[in-house]
Amino acid sequence: MAQDTIDDKREVHSVLRKMQASAQKMNYSGTFVYQQANQIRTSRITHVLDGNNELEKLEILDGQPREYLRKNEEVTCYLPDSKTLQVEKNATQEVFPALLTSNAQSLPESYAIKKADLSRVAGIDCQTYLLDPRDGFRYGYRLCVEKNSGLLLRAQTVNTKNEVIEQIAFTQLTIGDIDKQRVRPTFQNTAQWQVENLTVQSNIHSGWIVKSLPAGFKKTREMKRLIPAAGNAKNSDGTAIKSHQVVQMIFSDGLAAISVFIEPDSENRTEGSLQQGAMTIMGKRHAEYWVTVVGEVPASAIRQVMNSIEFKPK
């Protein structure tokens, strides 16, 4: 397979810019499959640019029915089983195919970017790019982008042995003329539904810092948010998990992201870590607080973040 490192910085930046802009500015509708470890999830996304507004509908097609309606940075999640609307302002979730974050132009600092072979995804020709990590704090990626528009059609996360540990790809896609009616919520009669505002306060400075971030990662958001009560989820002592407020900080290198959640400690939690596919989760006590660090990065990156969290009140 021919691989050329793209030495021309302008070409790299142009590819990244196109990938980011096409996901935000084009009209498209498609079904994509997400596979992590032994889990597979199918979703349908419809994206329309209406004047200056981005409108998007994301339907989760497996398990309990739910759908997310987004208008720019405000996301409403419809949960028909519990007749609940969860509203998130300043939403941060980078949803496929818009996986690149605002600091994507600095990706060449963290990855050697190579142009690889031509491929096909969902019947559409695409160009593969390999992102080879420059250190052990992130995984590698194989990104396949539609040749003309630059829209991302498939993203594969690979470990140091070049094995795919997570992937997300369109199985069907229409680009272009999408009817605006298709981004309306499926559930219309929601006047009696319960509303939960998940964003308590956006753009805060909580006083928590990560003193020694892995190279290339920058803080993109910090907020206070509500973690809703999760259905039948229980604490280890059998009591139901109630909704509670947490401070969340998000760090990104332009593609890989790490989230830090900080909340008052409850006695019945067990410290430790868990790995599934590309995802690593670590939980630990920090004085009277409980800190959770989660991200689709190797455990070494999660550990470095966890070990350098400090509270520096103003």
CATH topology of domain 4-183: outer membrane lipoprotein receptor (LolB), chain A (2.50.20)
User: Which residues of the chain register pLDDT less than 70?
Assistant: 1-7, 92-93, 230-241, 314
Contact 72, 55 (CB under 8 A): no
Domain boundaries, the chain: 4-183, 200-311
- Return the percentage of the chain with pLDDT > 90, whole number: 78
**pLDDT, tens only, 217-228:** 999 999 998 888
In residues, how long is the chain? 314
Contact 16, 22 (CB under 8 A): no
CATH topology of domain 200-311: Phosphorylase Kinase; domain 1 (3.30.200)
| Secondary structure element (H or E) that encloses residue 23, with its range | helix 9-25
Contact 180, 50 (CB under 8 A): yes
Say which DSSP state 254 is in: S
Neighbours of 35 (CB within 10 A): 17
Tokens of 160: 């140091």
Tokens of 14: 């142009």
pLDDT at 312: 87
d(CA 272, CA 280): 11
**pLDDT, tens only, 242-293:** 778 899 999 999 999 999 999 998 777 899 999 999 999 999 999 999 999 9
Contact 193, 179 (CB under 8 A): no
